[in-house]
Structure 1
Amino acid sequence: MADVAFYRDEALPFLEAKRCSKSDLAYQKHFHEEHSLGLIDEGETQAWCEGMLWRVESGRMINFPPHMLHACQPAENADWKYRMLFIKPEWLERMELPRLNKLQIPFLLEDGKNEACRKRFNRTMDSLVRNESSLEIETALIELVHMLIMKHESDQAHEPHGASERKYVNRVKEYIHAHYKDRITLEQLEQETGATRYHLIRSFKKSTHLPPHAYQNLLRINHAKIELRKRRPIAEIAVDAGYYDQSHFTKAFARIVGATPQTYAVSV
């Protein structure tokens, strides 16, 4: 595995991920055009930000707004592994996020919020590394940014859910039912409903208790079960259901059904 690796999804040009396990890699003063979120997986580093030093330990996240000058120096004689997400500011602006200005300063999160954001950071990174659907990757990213800007995790329970939100949810459901085999993106859902993708995710999850990509995956798996009972080849069903390979299909199927497609097929 390379010491430094980058990950992208061509349908999501506003997002790039980086993984680094090179312990002797230090960075001179620099800035990024993107909004940068970092997570230290092992070791610790001294992060210099416009004249101030921040000690960032293993398990901690740090945020750098676009064009903020910073530098990082890992601790001596310690393994240093970290991951970064780079988000173009144009995407954040399109989200029409409340309290977006909360992301405009460098910060280390308090323990409870750091843990909540770390879980969502890992989910976003893992989805991108595993080449999950664009819908799943961007949904995970929105959930991460939402958690970063929330004052309290309980804020989520008080979000309104009126007639307009139900209309959006119903339209999203209709679209997913009609296109569940396709590679759906949040941009497409945004165009279909006229609502921002940020509000679509919040409304859909509040109504159905699932994000759109999980709802789509259930439709795909239910379709696959029907086709497996017809004794069709598993690889053929995987492609037909919208999965990019049989391995990905098998993992998704087992998570929902509790058995592999092969086990399910020979049992019917």
Structure 2
Amino acid sequence: MQQSKFSFHHDLGGLEVLHNIDKKTDFGRHNHSGYTVALVDCGAQRFFRSGGQHLAGTNSIILINAEQVHDCRKACDGISSYRSMYPTPEFFNSLMDSTKNRAPYFSDAVIHDQVLASQLRGLFNTLDCPTSQLEKQTQLVSFLTNLCASTSQLQQAEDQKSLKCRIELAKNYLLDHLFDDIGLSELASLIHMSQFHFVRAFKVQTGLTPHAFQIQHRLNHAKAMLRRGDNISQVANSVGFYDHSHFSRYFKKNMGITPNQYKQAC
């Protein structure tokens, strides 16, 4: 009964929603530019977040912060399904009318709150049906407001220690040259580290290797190009993948659907 359904909501600021029913393939470690807010409809899911493993059973809510590295796999014998959405930090900031560009931080990976779970279930059901913008927007804002009030903390200002600043410099350099063929020695030299120390420090700081970080952000750009209707092969070439199959393999590993399925849903 394995099935994946993806939807993209232009009238909700580009909100992405994914419904996975009895997914057989595990998602390896990755991250999203938006938060992951998921409801386990039945069965159970096990996932890595914040340096540890977490188990989410039926009616529990999974919370993963934006850019936070995680994985996901089925954790029961019977059918397991979940629905997830990916609101961006910018969307949260707009809800809070923030002038400081601060977004919430969810310290708990799994929460068991039947009121919030019921509200999230109703929201997903509404998003899956043809209805007015006002109804969808009102339910989404109401749920996220209640979620933040119940479970989140304001994200703390970044630590300014030397190592973190140097890794941030390397991250920014990677992003500025995202589609270039950058070598490890070039990145390590940029911040005056050995290649071994750099890879280790980068992974501790970001949860990803430099290569995985590069792939993740290339895929984010690719999604934006697919949403505007660009040809898949051209997208693959534009964002630095060798060919269509190479791009599709990484895309499905990250999203659980093919680039063509994503493009059709948008």
- The TM-score normalised by the length of structure 2 is 0.51
Matches within 5 A, 1:62-77: 62-77=62-77
Contact 1:36–1:66 (8 Å) recurs in 2:
yes
Q: Which runs of 5+ in 2 are unaligned?
A: 152-266
Cα 1:76/1:118, change in 2 over 3 Å? closer
Contact 2:44–2:76 (8 Å) recurs in 1:
no
User: What's the counterpart of residue 17 of structure 1?
Assistant: 17
Cα 1:87/1:151, change in 2 over 3 Å? closer
1:102 Cα deviation from its structure 2 partner: 4.8
Deviation per CA, 1:38-65, whole angstroms, max 9, x where unpaired?
1111111211113211111111001111
User: What's the counterpart of residue 107 of structure 2?
Assistant: 105
Deviation per CA, 1:187-237, whole angstroms, max 9, x where unpaired?
xxxxxxxxxxxxxxxxxxxxxxxxxxxxxxxxxxxxxxxxxxxxxxxxxxx
How many residues end up aligned between the 2 structures? 148
1:122 Cα deviation from its structure 2 partner: 1.4
Contact 2:13–2:91 (8 Å) recurs in 1:
no
1:133 Cα deviation from its structure 2 partner: 1.2
- The TM-score normalised by the length of structure 1 is 0.51
Report the more deviating stretch, 120-129 or 57-66: 120-129
Cα 1:24/1:40, change in 2 over 3 Å? same
User: What's the counterpart of residue 54 of structure 2?
Assistant: 54
User: What's the counterpart of residue 149 of structure 1?
Assistant: 148
Cα 1:74/1:22, change in 2 over 3 Å? same
Cα 1:57/1:2, change in 2 over 3 Å? closer
Contact 1:38–1:83 (8 Å) recurs in 2:
yes
Q: Distance in 1 between matches of 2:45 and 2:35?
A: 19
1:104 Cα deviation from its structure 2 partner: 3.7
Q: Which amino acid aligns with 2:114?
A: E
Matches within 5 A, 1:65-214: 65-96=65-96, 102-109=104-111, 111=112, 114-151=113-150
Q: Which amino acid aligns with 1:107?
A: A
1:95 Cα deviation from its structure 2 partner: 1.2
Cα 1:54/1:2, change in 2 over 3 Å? closer
Deviation per CA, 1:220-262, whole angstroms, max 9, x where unpaired?
xxxxxxxxxxxxxxxxxxxxxxxxxxxxxxxxxxxxxxxxxxx
1:150 Cα deviation from its structure 2 partner: 2.0
Percent identical: 18
Higher Cα radius of gyration: 1
User: What's the counterpart of residue 155 of structure 2?
Assistant: none
Contact 2:39–2:117 (8 Å) recurs in 1:
yes
Partner of 1:8: helix, strand, or coil? strand
Which structure has more relative contact order (CA 8 Å, sep 6+)? It is: 2
Deviation per CA, 1:111-165, whole angstroms, max 9, x where unpaired?
4xx111112211221111102111111111111111112249xxxxxxxxxxxxx
Q: Distance in 2 between matches of 1:48 and 1:41?
A: 19
Report the more deviating stretch, 23-32 or 63-72: 23-32
Cα 1:151/1:117, change in 2 over 3 Å? closer
